[in-house]
Amino acid sequence: MDVPSTALFTDQYELTMVQAALKAGTAGRRSVFEVFTRRLPDGRRYGVVAGTGRVLDAVENFRFDAGVLDFLRRRGIVDRQTLDWLAGYRFSGDIWGYPEGEVYFPGSPIMRVEGSFAECVLLETVILSILNHDSAIAAAASRMASAAGDRPLIEMGARRTHELSAVAAARAAYVGGFTSTSDLAAGFRYNIPTVGTSAHAFTLLHDSERDAFRAQVESLGGGTTLLVDTYDVTEAVRTAVEVAGTGLGAVRIDSGDLLLVAHRVRQQLDELGARDTKIIVTSDLDEYAIASLAAAPVDAYGVGTQLVTGSGHPTASMVYKLVARAETDDPRDPLVPVAKKSSGGKTSLGGRKWAARRLDEYGVAEAEVVGTGPVPGELADRQLLVELVKGGAVVAREPLDAARERHTAARANLPLSATQLSRGEPVIPTEYVQGRSGS
């Protein structure tokens, strides 16, 4: 499942820019690229940084091995000088970024990549592809987790997306607040708890629903979860308790009016003495459906399609822009701020940036402050960027649970309106402080 090289997870123009810069003598100029988004998806109150750990893996594995170089040579994509340069490519610069699980807002410098122009520009596409996908999934997961409250969420969207995207989505969902996944590849690769019992096909395989339940209980034990909506829910619940006993672990409902059916099933389970049997609901849930079930006697939710597609927003719309560069390839040369100037809302702010989150007197976030130059003293201990890669070496690997816990804490420090599902502006504003860009 590991990809030996990530070097071709890129766009061709990254390599042709390197070729042209090598010829022009500008490839070695010290440069600063930043990842940010100009706006949040429509109606979202905050974003969630996810995929940072995968970015670190991708940077480490960004190597042009013999097979990759031969492909580039045969296609005539770059010239011999560039092929020779790529053969020795190793990212040797520095990367700073918001730690995984942190929240972000428009203009937040989510990741900062520093090094020579050539070595930094090559990483643009792979970094954006990871952060845009994973952050979109994590944001959807976070909204669903807020709607679910203390009830656990199961990620089960593998069959609704590309097989490798499914693994990344399960990871991002776990960062955003989901508790488990049905995807075994995600469990294997990232140590995420996995769950799963049976589908309707298992019931249909047997001559009767009772036979199917008996086979499952005899194999998996009375604490299993029985799917009760293949035929008649009421009859299935009665049969489930008769087969498994009042210690039955859970029943799953996958269709119908979930609010109504959940109340009826809870009442029936209680009358049958199965008061501790839990109810799990699935069936095309999103954060709005989950919120609508808040008053229902539901114990857990399983979410697939809407989660792995970002609940309507499958990308975080992040960009990777050059914000500062030196005028020569002398490493002592100072950095000069640069920025694109255009119409249509695609302008950006030049200069290497820092970011800090200002809190009010109650410890609640009130502004995302982004600036260049010195950090104001009152914000010095509220800075958001941390060092991820130093001199080409990864220095900030952490367990996935750390990112998950960080997100819970970060979301809790936002104003209460952050968890509202109604449309609205970012929950805190972004303020800009401009000074000297620094060296």
Contact 383, 353 (CB under 8 A): no
- What does the block give as tokens for 247? 């210690």
Say if CB 376 and CB 432 are below 8 A apart. Answer: no
Please, what is the Cα angle at 397 between 395 and 401, to 5 degrees? 155
Termini Cα distance of the chain:
41
Q: Tell me what pLDDT residue 306 has.
A: 97
What's the CA gap between 225 and 106, in Å, rounded?
43
For residue 405, give both structure tokens.
């816990």
pLDDT, mean of residues 237-260:
97
pLDDT at residue 344 in the model: 65
Q: If you count them, how many residues does the chain have?
A: 439
* 349 — pLDDT class (breaks 50, 70, 90): confident
Task: State yes or no: pLDDT of 147 exceeds 90.
Answer: yes
CB 109 within 8 A of CB 387: no
Which SS3 state, helix, strand or coil, does residue 431 take? strand
Type of residue at 268: Q
Regarding the domain with residue range 12-137+313-433, which homologous superfamily does it belong to in the CATH classification? nicotinate phosphoribosyltransferase (3.20.140.10)
Output the pLDDT for position 322.
97
Question: What does the angle CA 99 – CA 49 – CA 35 come to, to the nearest 5 degrees?
Answer: 90
Closest CA to 392 of 33, 51, 61: 61
* Domain parsing of the chain, residue ranges: 12-137+313-433, 197-298
For the chain, the maximum distance between any two Cα atoms, rounded to a whole number of angstroms, is: 80
Average per-residue pLDDT for the chain: 95
Bridge partners (DSSP) listed for residue 281: 253, 301
Q: Check if the beta carbon of residue 246 is closer than 8 Å to that of residue 271.
A: no
pTM of the model: 0.95
Half-sphere exposure of 221 (CA within 13 A, CB side): 3
Distance CA(411)–CA(418), nearest Å, equals 8
Q: Is 90 exceeded by the pLDDT of residue 3?
A: no
**Check: CATH 3.40.50.300 for 197-298?**
no
